């Protein structure tokens, strides 16, 4: 849509912060009040609006998208979102190992074993590993711990967490990001380890390169949004 405002800025509501366009508070796509938990989030989103030129391009406004998703979708179906996030814990990427070739086996062990040790020491979550694609059932205690940790997050954090776990395929990697144990670059590296190995062995086509680039940027955007939630 065409830019219809001159000025975007952070503003206050009775019970929180918002974004003002020419002095008027914006609404979510579902027409809900755009109430934000922090001033820094409001400033970041106002900056996204202010950076738009003749046309408003939502794809260049990731913080706006996450905030709107939190308000319109996470708040209205919070339990379902939590269950979907935690579902990745039952099939966690770092628990499914290759049996060959040897270089890939070594890379997986070097990158993923320390994460399993970390989550065991930090959160008392012990996970089983297997080789190949055969399903391995994790202990209910471990899955419940995942659920409790995710449930403790607010709706805005959950909006970003959903993206992170979907891109990485790993609750362990996601928790490490949430706790600040992994940054965006590291999270992308460990979650894309298998594909990186294939690229190193056989090369990469343009389509795959673009997909990886977009996925990495999406991951970094989600992690940046997390820093605005507290």
| pLDDT per residue as tens digits for the range 61-76 | 999 999 999 999 999 9
Residue 30: predicted pLDDT: 97
- The verdict on residue 55 lying in a domain is yes
Residues 6+ apart with CB under 8 A from 69: 159
Q: Do the Cβ atoms of 34 and 71 come closer than 8 Å?
A: yes
Residue 50: predicted pLDDT: 97
Give yes or no: residues 56 and 81 share one domain.
Answer: no
- The verdict on residue 136 lying in a domain is yes
CA distance 219 to 214: 9
At residue 146 the predicted structure's pLDDT band, cuts being 50, 70 and 90, is very high
- The verdict on residue 69 lying in a domain is no
Give yes or no: residues 128 and 175 share one domain.
Answer: yes
- Give the tokens for residue 207: 């389509």
pLDDT tens digits along 19-37: 999 999 999 999 999 999 9
Q: Which of 188, 176, 190 is nearest to 226 (CA)?
A: 176
Give yes or no: residues 130 and 45 share one domain.
Answer: no
Give yes or no: residues 36 and 82 share one domain.
Answer: no
Give yes or no: residues 42 and 92 share one domain.
Answer: no
At residue 134 the predicted structure's pLDDT band, cuts being 50, 70 and 90, is confident
Give yes or no: residues 211 and 117 share one domain.
Answer: yes
Domain that holds residue 130: 77-226
- The verdict on residue 68 lying in a domain is no
- Give the tokens for residue 61: 């406004």
Give yes or no: residues 56 and 129 share one domain.
Answer: no
* Residue appearing with tokens 């449930």: 151
At residue 204 the predicted structure's pLDDT band, cuts being 50, 70 and 90, is confident
Q: Which of 100, 115, 93 is nearest to 193 (CA)?
A: 93
- The verdict on residue 222 lying in a domain is yes
- The verdict on residue 153 lying in a domain is yes
């Amino acid at each position: 849509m065409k830019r219809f405002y001159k000025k975007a800025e952070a503003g206050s509501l009775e019970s929180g912060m918002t974004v003002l366009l020419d002095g008027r508070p914006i609404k979510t796509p579902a027409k809900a009040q755009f109430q934000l938990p922090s001033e820094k989030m409001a400033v970041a989103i106002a900056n996204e609006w202010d950076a738009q030129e003749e046309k408003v391009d939502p794809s260049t406004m990731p913080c706006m998208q996450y905030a709107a998703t939190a308000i319109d979708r996470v708040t209205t179906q919070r339990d379902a979102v939590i269950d979907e996030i935690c579902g990745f814990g039952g099939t966690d990427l770092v628990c499914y190992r290759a049996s060959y070739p040897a270089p890939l086996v070594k890379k997986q062990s070097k990158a993923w074993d320390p994460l399993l040790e970390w989550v065991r020491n930090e959160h008392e979550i012990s996970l089983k590993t297997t080789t190949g694609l055969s399903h391995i059932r994790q202990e209910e205690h471990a899955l419940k711990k995942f659920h409790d940790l995710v449930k403790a997050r607010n709706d805005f954090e959950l909006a970003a967490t959903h993206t992170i776990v979907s891109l990485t395929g790993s609750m362990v990697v996601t928790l490490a990001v949430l706790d600040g144990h992994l940054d965006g670059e590291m999270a992308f590296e460990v979650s894309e380890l298998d594909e990186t190995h294939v690229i190193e062995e056989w090369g990469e086509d343009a389509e795959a390169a673009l997909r990886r680039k977009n996925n990495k940027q999406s991951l970094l955007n989600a992690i940046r949004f997390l820093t605005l939630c507290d």
